[in-house]
Structure 1
Amino acid sequence: MSQDTIFSKIIKREIPADIQYEDELVLAFSDVNPQAPTHLLIIPKKPIATVNDIAMEDREVIGHLFVVAAKIARQKGFAEDGYRVVMNCNQHGGQTVYHLHLHLLAGKAMGWPPYQDKLKTKD
Protein backbone atom coordinates (compact mmCIF):
# COMPACT_ATOMS: atom_id res chain seq x y z
CA MET A 1 0.00 0.00 0.00
CA SER A 2 1.77 3.15 -1.17
CA GLN A 3 -0.31 6.10 -0.12
CA ASP A 4 0.63 9.68 0.70
CA THR A 5 -0.33 10.27 4.35
CA ILE A 6 -0.02 13.16 6.75
CA PHE A 7 3.02 11.37 8.21
CA SER A 8 4.78 11.10 4.85
CA LYS A 9 4.16 14.84 4.42
CA ILE A 10 5.73 15.48 7.84
CA ILE A 11 8.77 13.38 6.85
CA LYS A 12 9.12 15.45 3.63
CA ARG A 13 8.61 18.67 5.66
CA GLU A 14 5.57 19.56 3.57
CA ILE A 15 3.60 20.23 6.74
CA PRO A 16 4.97 21.33 10.12
CA ALA A 17 5.32 19.16 13.20
CA ASP A 18 6.91 19.50 16.61
CA ILE A 19 9.82 17.16 15.85
CA GLN A 20 11.45 15.74 18.98
CA TYR A 21 13.87 13.21 17.47
CA GLU A 22 15.15 12.18 14.06
CA ASP A 23 17.72 9.79 12.66
CA GLU A 24 18.16 7.97 9.37
CA LEU A 25 15.38 5.45 10.08
CA VAL A 26 12.73 7.20 12.18
CA LEU A 27 11.11 10.49 13.09
CA ALA A 28 9.41 11.33 16.42
CA PHE A 29 7.05 14.24 16.92
CA SER A 30 4.37 15.46 19.30
CA ASP A 31 0.84 14.13 18.75
CA VAL A 32 -1.56 16.96 17.83
CA ASN A 33 -4.26 15.31 19.97
CA PRO A 34 -2.30 14.27 23.09
CA GLN A 35 -3.77 11.63 25.36
CA ALA A 36 -1.14 12.13 28.10
CA PRO A 37 1.12 14.97 29.25
CA THR A 38 3.77 13.54 26.93
CA HIS A 39 2.42 11.95 23.75
CA LEU A 40 4.83 11.43 20.89
CA LEU A 41 4.48 9.46 17.68
CA ILE A 42 7.53 7.56 16.46
CA ILE A 43 7.29 6.63 12.80
CA PRO A 44 9.54 4.81 10.36
CA LYS A 45 10.64 6.93 7.43
CA LYS A 46 9.88 3.91 5.26
CA PRO A 47 6.13 3.86 4.57
CA ILE A 48 4.61 0.75 6.14
CA ALA A 49 0.81 0.97 6.30
CA THR A 50 -0.04 -1.35 9.20
CA VAL A 51 1.42 -4.01 11.47
CA ASN A 52 0.05 -6.52 8.94
CA ASP A 53 2.36 -5.02 6.30
CA ILE A 54 5.61 -5.49 8.23
CA ALA A 55 7.99 -7.66 6.19
CA MET A 56 11.02 -9.64 7.35
CA GLU A 57 13.30 -6.93 5.98
CA ASP A 58 11.56 -4.38 8.26
CA ARG A 59 12.76 -6.04 11.47
CA GLU A 60 15.56 -3.53 12.04
CA VAL A 61 13.38 -0.45 11.69
CA ILE A 62 10.56 -1.93 13.81
CA GLY A 63 12.98 -2.80 16.60
CA HIS A 64 14.53 0.66 16.23
CA LEU A 65 11.15 2.29 16.96
CA PHE A 66 11.27 0.73 20.44
CA VAL A 67 14.97 1.56 20.97
CA VAL A 68 14.16 5.20 20.14
CA ALA A 69 11.15 5.16 22.50
CA ALA A 70 13.41 4.05 25.38
CA LYS A 71 16.06 6.62 24.41
CA ILE A 72 13.49 9.45 24.41
CA ALA A 73 12.09 8.24 27.75
CA ARG A 74 15.57 8.42 29.30
CA GLN A 75 16.32 11.82 27.74
CA LYS A 76 13.00 13.32 28.89
CA GLY A 77 13.35 11.83 32.37
CA PHE A 78 10.33 9.55 32.60
CA ALA A 79 11.94 6.17 31.94
CA GLU A 80 12.08 5.25 35.63
CA ASP A 81 8.51 6.36 36.42
CA GLY A 82 7.25 4.44 33.42
CA TYR A 83 5.47 5.01 30.14
CA ARG A 84 3.32 3.25 27.62
CA VAL A 85 4.05 2.37 23.99
CA VAL A 86 1.14 1.42 21.75
CA MET A 87 0.87 0.45 18.10
CA ASN A 88 -2.65 0.26 16.69
CA CYS A 89 -3.59 -1.83 13.65
CA ASN A 90 -6.49 -1.12 11.33
CA GLN A 91 -9.91 0.31 12.14
CA HIS A 92 -10.94 -1.88 15.08
CA GLY A 93 -7.48 -1.45 16.57
CA GLY A 94 -7.89 2.32 16.53
CA GLN A 95 -5.51 3.14 13.67
CA THR A 96 -6.47 6.36 11.89
CA VAL A 97 -3.33 7.11 9.86
CA TYR A 98 -2.18 4.26 7.64
CA HIS A 99 1.54 4.80 8.16
CA LEU A 100 2.72 2.56 10.99
CA HIS A 101 3.45 4.52 14.18
CA LEU A 102 4.33 3.89 17.78
CA HIS A 103 2.59 6.03 20.40
CA LEU A 104 4.81 7.00 23.34
CA LEU A 105 2.69 8.17 26.30
CA ALA A 106 4.01 9.37 29.65
CA GLY A 107 3.59 11.86 32.44
CA LYS A 108 0.72 10.21 34.32
CA ALA A 109 -0.21 6.84 35.76
CA MET A 110 -1.80 4.69 33.06
CA GLY A 111 -4.73 2.43 33.91
CA TRP A 112 -5.66 -0.89 32.39
CA PRO A 113 -7.64 -1.44 30.34
CA PRO A 114 -6.79 1.81 28.56
CA TYR A 115 -10.40 2.40 27.51
CA GLN A 116 -13.69 2.87 29.30
CA ASP A 117 -15.87 0.80 26.95
CA LYS A 118 -17.20 -2.41 28.41
CA LEU A 119 -16.19 -5.58 26.66
CA LYS A 120 -19.10 -7.05 24.74
CA THR A 121 -19.88 -10.63 25.61
CA LYS A 122 -22.13 -13.10 23.90
CA ASP A 123 -25.09 -14.45 25.84
Structure 2
Amino acid sequence: MSQEPNCIFCKIAAGQIPSKKVFEDEDLIVFHDIAPWAPVHLLIVPKAHIVSHADLTDAHAALAGKMMVLAPKLMRELGVTGGFRTVINTGRDGGQEVMHLHMHVMGGPRPWAKG
Protein backbone atom coordinates (compact mmCIF):
# COMPACT_ATOMS: atom_id res chain seq x y z
CA MET A 1 0.00 0.00 0.00
CA SER A 2 1.54 3.26 -1.08
CA GLN A 3 1.59 6.24 1.26
CA GLU A 4 2.93 9.76 0.98
CA PRO A 5 5.00 10.88 3.98
CA ASN A 6 3.57 14.44 4.04
CA CYS A 7 -0.10 13.52 3.44
CA ILE A 8 -2.36 14.14 6.45
CA PHE A 9 -4.76 11.34 5.45
CA CYS A 10 -1.87 8.87 5.04
CA LYS A 11 -0.73 9.84 8.54
CA ILE A 12 -4.25 9.33 9.93
CA ALA A 13 -4.50 5.94 8.18
CA ALA A 14 -1.12 4.95 9.66
CA GLY A 15 -2.23 5.98 13.17
CA GLN A 16 0.33 8.79 13.38
CA ILE A 17 -2.40 11.44 13.79
CA PRO A 18 -5.43 10.69 15.98
CA SER A 19 -8.94 10.77 14.58
CA LYS A 20 -12.44 10.05 15.82
CA LYS A 21 -12.59 6.76 13.97
CA VAL A 22 -15.90 5.16 12.97
CA PHE A 23 -14.69 2.26 10.82
CA GLU A 24 -11.46 0.68 9.67
CA ASP A 25 -10.49 -2.35 7.62
CA GLU A 26 -7.54 -3.29 5.41
CA ASP A 27 -8.61 -0.85 2.65
CA LEU A 28 -10.39 2.08 4.28
CA ILE A 29 -10.49 4.29 7.32
CA VAL A 30 -13.56 6.36 8.19
CA PHE A 31 -13.57 9.18 10.71
CA HIS A 32 -15.55 12.25 11.73
CA ASP A 33 -14.60 15.47 9.95
CA ILE A 34 -12.91 17.96 12.29
CA ALA A 35 -14.91 20.85 10.76
CA PRO A 36 -18.34 19.29 10.14
CA TRP A 37 -20.90 20.80 7.77
CA ALA A 38 -23.69 18.62 9.18
CA PRO A 39 -24.58 16.91 12.47
CA VAL A 40 -22.95 13.72 11.12
CA HIS A 41 -20.03 14.38 8.75
CA LEU A 42 -17.74 11.48 7.95
CA LEU A 43 -14.74 11.13 5.67
CA ILE A 44 -14.26 7.79 3.93
CA VAL A 45 -10.59 7.54 3.01
CA PRO A 46 -8.68 4.78 1.21
CA LYS A 47 -5.54 3.74 3.07
CA ALA A 48 -3.62 3.63 -0.20
CA HIS A 49 -2.58 7.08 -1.40
CA ILE A 50 -4.72 7.87 -4.43
CA VAL A 51 -4.55 11.57 -5.24
CA SER A 52 -8.10 12.14 -6.47
CA HIS A 53 -11.22 10.65 -7.99
CA ALA A 54 -9.71 11.43 -11.40
CA ASP A 55 -6.86 9.02 -10.61
CA LEU A 56 -9.11 5.99 -10.11
CA THR A 57 -8.65 3.21 -12.66
CA ASP A 58 -10.42 -0.05 -13.39
CA ALA A 59 -8.10 -1.62 -10.82
CA HIS A 60 -9.79 0.53 -8.13
CA ALA A 61 -13.37 -0.51 -9.00
CA ALA A 62 -13.80 -2.75 -5.95
CA LEU A 63 -12.41 -0.06 -3.64
CA ALA A 64 -14.68 2.64 -5.08
CA GLY A 65 -17.67 0.32 -4.81
CA LYS A 66 -16.77 -0.48 -1.21
CA MET A 67 -16.76 3.24 -0.40
CA MET A 68 -20.20 3.72 -1.97
CA VAL A 69 -21.74 0.73 -0.17
CA LEU A 70 -20.19 1.66 3.18
CA ALA A 71 -21.63 5.20 3.24
CA PRO A 72 -25.32 4.29 3.75
CA LYS A 73 -24.42 1.48 6.15
CA LEU A 74 -22.52 3.87 8.43
CA MET A 75 -25.19 6.54 8.21
CA ARG A 76 -27.83 4.01 9.33
CA GLU A 77 -25.57 2.87 12.18
CA LEU A 78 -25.16 6.50 13.30
CA GLY A 79 -28.91 7.11 13.29
CA VAL A 80 -29.19 9.17 10.11
CA THR A 81 -32.61 8.24 8.73
CA GLY A 82 -33.77 11.32 6.79
CA GLY A 83 -31.15 11.16 4.05
CA PHE A 84 -27.55 12.10 3.55
CA ARG A 85 -25.23 13.67 1.01
CA THR A 86 -22.05 12.24 -0.50
CA VAL A 87 -19.45 14.55 -2.02
CA ILE A 88 -16.13 13.81 -3.69
CA ASN A 89 -14.29 17.02 -4.52
CA THR A 90 -11.87 16.32 -7.36
CA GLY A 91 -8.81 18.46 -8.05
CA ARG A 92 -8.17 22.03 -7.00
CA ASP A 93 -10.83 23.44 -9.33
CA GLY A 94 -13.29 20.92 -7.88
CA GLY A 95 -12.70 22.15 -4.34
CA GLN A 96 -10.37 19.36 -3.21
CA GLU A 97 -8.21 20.63 -0.34
CA VAL A 98 -6.39 17.45 0.71
CA MET A 99 -4.80 15.73 -2.28
CA HIS A 100 -5.78 12.23 -1.16
CA LEU A 101 -9.04 10.72 -2.43
CA HIS A 102 -11.81 11.01 0.17
CA MET A 103 -15.58 10.99 0.26
CA HIS A 104 -17.55 13.32 2.50
CA VAL A 105 -20.76 11.74 3.85
CA MET A 106 -23.01 14.27 5.57
CA GLY A 107 -26.36 13.70 7.23
CA GLY A 108 -28.65 14.54 10.05
CA PRO A 109 -31.18 17.31 10.58
CA ARG A 110 -30.29 20.68 9.16
CA PRO A 111 -31.36 23.33 11.66
CA TRP A 112 -31.47 26.03 8.99
CA ALA A 113 -33.89 24.06 6.75
CA LYS A 114 -37.56 25.05 6.81
CA GLY A 115 -39.89 22.45 8.33
TM-score (norm 1): 0.82
Amino acid at match of 1:60: A
Listed one character per residue, the Cα deviations across residues 86-106 of structure 1 (whole Å, up to 9, x for unaligned) are: 000011211000110000101
Amino acid at match of 1:36: A
| Displacement over 6 Å in runs of 4+ | none
Q: How does 1:35-50 map to 2 (within 5 A)?
A: 35-50=37-52
Query: Displacement of 1:3 after TM fit?
Result: 3.3
Q: How does 1:1-123 map to 2 (within 5 A)?
A: 3-4=4-5, 5-78=7-80, 80-109=81-110
Query: Displacement of 1:42 after TM fit?
Result: 0.3
Identity %: 38
Count of residue pairs brought into register by the alignment: 109
Separation of aligned partners in 1, 2:109 and 2:87: 15
Separation of aligned partners in 1, 2:58 and 2:30: 23
Listed one character per residue, the Cα deviations across residues 31-86 of structure 1 (whole Å, up to 9, x for unaligned) are: 111111111100111111011110110000011011111110121121x3100010
Q: Aligned to 1:8, what secondary structure does the other structure show?
A: helix
Q: Aligned to 1:32, what secondary structure does the other structure show?
A: coil
Which structure has the bigger radius of gyration? 1
Q: Structure 1: 5+ residue runs without aligned partners?
A: 110-123
RMSD over equivalenced CA pairs, Å: 1.7
